[in-house]
Copies of this chain bind each other. A is one copy, B any other.
Amino acid sequence: MNAKATAPSAPERTGAAGADRKAPKADLSRDQILSAAAKLFRDQGYSGTTLRQIAAAAQMKAGSIYYHFSSKDQILDEVLDAGIARNFAAVREAVAACPAEATAEERILAAIAAHMRTLLSSSEFTAVDIRIFGQLPPEIRLRHQSKRSEYARYWDGLFRAAIESGEFRKDIKIAPLRQFVLGALNWTVEWFDPDTQSIDELIDRCTKLIMSGVKSA
Contacts and interface: CB of A to CB of B under 8 A. Distances in A.
Interface of A: 43-48, 105, 131-132, 134-135, 137, 162, 166-170, 172-173, 175-177, 179-181, 183-184, 186-188, 190-191, 196-197, 202, 205-206, 209-217
A73 to B, nearest CB: 13
A184 B210 CA distance: 10
28 contacts: A45-B135, A46-B48, A47-B48, A48-B48, A105-B215, A131-B135, A166-B216, A167-B215, A167-B216, A168-B215, A168-B216, A169-B215, A172-B214, A179-B187, A180-B187, A180-B188, A180-B205, A180-B206, A180-B209, A181-B214, A183-B183, A183-B190, A184-B187, A186-B187, A209-B213, A210-B213, A212-B212, A213-B213
A169 B134 contact: no
